[in-house]
Amino acid sequence: MQDLDQYTVTDATLAQMAQTPNPRLREIMDAAVRHLHAFAREVSLTPAEWLAGMKFLTAVGHACTPFRQEFILLSDVLGLSSLVNAMHDARAGEDGTQTSLLGPFYREAAPSHALGESIAGLSSGEEMVLFGNVLDAAGRGVPHASVQVWQTNAEGLYDLQLHEPEQMDMRGCFACDGSGAYHFRTIRPRGYMIPMDGPVGGLVQAQRRHGYRPAHIHFLIGAPGHRELVTALYLADDAHIDSDTVFGVSQALVVRPSLDLAGSPRPDLASIRYDFRLSRTADGGSGRVGADPSKILEPAP
Amino acid sequence: MQDLDQYTVTDATLAQMAQTPNPRLREIMDAAVRHLHAFAREVSLTPAEWLAGMKFLTAVGHACTPFRQEFILLSDVLGLSSLVNAMHDARAGEDGTQTSLLGPFYREAAPSHALGESIAGLSSGEEMVLFGNVLDAAGRGVPHASVQVWQTNAEGLYDLQLHEPEQMDMRGCFACDGSGAYHFRTIRPRGYMIPMDGPVGGLVQAQRRHGYRPAHIHFLIGAPGHRELVTALYLADDAHIDSDTVFGVSQALVVRPSLDLAGSPRPDLASIRYDFRLSRTADGGSGRVGADPSKILEPAP
């Protein structure tokens, strides 16, 4: 019998996992254990600190409900979600619109709207219009592409954060016309602090971070034969445009609403024009499936 | 504004956390983010895999109850708990008994017993006796040292896994006599599979690991002025003595019960003699405080 020390325990763990039949699971868990152990050795983690970590992760798990996904929030504030997106974009090459965070507020089964309608059913604020095209990798319009949109209201809250989270608002699905064009109305979203009443908020406060995300509108865009696009547009004039707590902003996704914009279906309203470009189907989807907080609570496969 | 790629997002995350006032929290989170990101880059984690990870961690959190600590179990099967113990022992020097895993079945407020009594109240099996001394770093007996014991019954189950987990059995607290000697009776514990009905069990099965721990008896030993000792004794004749799923066994903790053992208070029973040696108080305790599953559910500090 070998007595395990802080180095040999890593070898012993990897040896026990070496018979994993799924090669990708083996590869991922092998790397996870090596990096987890290297982390613990680097900081010389004490039992009391380890226990604080166990308590923190347990609290994160218990904060996850059908209307809230605290682990995705943790991934977001640690930069992991943004990193996964960046690698996903890099694999797809340069031809598609950059992705941005799905975030914890996506919901499947958002209501369908006709082009031109407003997603602000129960909320009021400064009216805006968004319009443009969904294009393929060669720059041609993608007929009837599906465009899902969700955002905060003028108070910086998603419907999931309101008193009746079952009721949907400030989200909807549109189908582009035969040339790939879309337009819809909404109200100006407001930037917001990530939820600060849970364990992730506690961490962000202990790190003296402001906790704000700049105002943005989420998009999930798809069409058969194209890679699904998860992205967001960020409003340039938000005070936190350069310091997003979850690292979702990139220059190409920053927009500035303006009046009298050429081509706007409603030039009397603050208008944003944005053309989205879909990549060809590449490495197995966007990761969207099941990210609805109410769906992620199923047991892991 | 800098557009973030898979490398610069790490710098951006570390920069946002750089104002953390608590230097140890800053150090730990800085290392955690670097290693987490390095892991994701090494395996080129896809959005779908990231989402599977989020689901898995959420399921682990939801499996944590006042009677079960699935995150500690995860730490155990990944070798992290054993690694933290090994570093803890190394910092304490060579003078104390090796530590072993606290495990997820420790409970505060176990019943007190007089020396010589049995901890098997509701369970039956092969009777055994354990005896020996609690010694200080210089080899002198520690008068009235506190000895807490917990173990499985003859079916390999802890009281927490029985139908009425509120009812305690197969655990107890003893006070050594004035010379530091202890003795108590119990029944032979049985090795067991870790709980396989949760997400951690699912992982262990997907890795084709047997999931067994060899039979053992847990100890938590303390006395004022000494470092608290969390350890366990392992029975030599268990078939899994060399392949513990949670990496808790070390040679110095392996014991072999025998009849007619010299000095046994009950030489007619299978007897184990073991002297425990406490280190001087060193780096802030054993990490035991609050590891009771029913206590770990409080919000993180």
Task: Find the radius of gyration of the CA atoms of chain B.
Answer: 22
Residue type, A272: I
C-beta neighbour count of A269 within 10 angstroms: 18
Mean pLDDT over B147-176 rounds to: 92
B87-140, pLDDT tens digit by residue?
Answer: 988 887 768 899 998 887 888 889 999 999 999 988 899 999 999 999 998 999
- Answer yes or no: is pLDDT of B71 > 80: yes
B-chain CB neighbours of A75 within 8 Å are: 50, 54
| Confidence (pLDDT) at B11 | 97
Check if the beta carbon of residue B229 is closer than 8 Å to that of residue B220: yes
A147-170, pLDDT tens digit by residue?
Answer: 999 999 999 999 988 878 888 999
- Cβ of A90 within 8 Å of Cβ of B1? The answer is no
Top residue of B56, B84, B227 to mutate, by most chain A CBs within 10 Å, is B84
How far apart (Å, rounded) are the C-alpha atoms in residues A13 and B78? 6
| Confidence (pLDDT) at B44 | 97
| Confidence (pLDDT) at A2 | 67
Top residue of B3, B81, B87, B106 to mutate, by most chain A CBs within 10 Å, is B87
Check if the beta carbon of residue A104 is closer than 8 Å to that of residue B54: no
- Answer yes or no: is pLDDT of B1 > 50: yes
Chain B: give the shortest CA distance to residue A214, in Å.
Answer: 13
The residue ranges of chain A whose pLDDT is under 70 are 1-2, 94, 281-301
Percent over 70 (pLDDT), chain B:
92
| Confidence (pLDDT) at A24 | 96
Mean pLDDT over B149-175 rounds to: 91
Residue B295's pLDDT band (cuts 50, 70, 90): low
| Confidence (pLDDT) at B290 | 38
Chain A: give the shortest CA distance to residue B1, in Å.
Answer: 6
| Confidence (pLDDT) at A292 | 52
Higher pLDDT pick, A149 / B301: A149
Top residue of A35, A204, A240 to mutate, by most chain B CBs within 10 Å, is A35
- Cβ of B43 within 8 Å of Cβ of A28? The answer is yes
Domains and CATH numbers, chain A: 8-63 (no CATH), 70-295 (2.60.130.10)
- Cβ of A4 within 8 Å of Cβ of B250? The answer is yes
| Confidence (pLDDT) at B301 | 37
User: pTM for this one?
Assistant: 0.88
B219-242, pLDDT tens digit by residue?
Answer: 999 999 888 899 999 999 999 999
The shortest CB-CB distance from A39 to any of B32, B62, B82 is to B32
Check if the beta carbon of residue A252 is closer than 8 Å to that of residue A111: no
Residue type, A62: H
How far apart (Å, rounded) are the C-alpha atoms in residues A17 and A2? 18
Mean pLDDT of chain A: 90
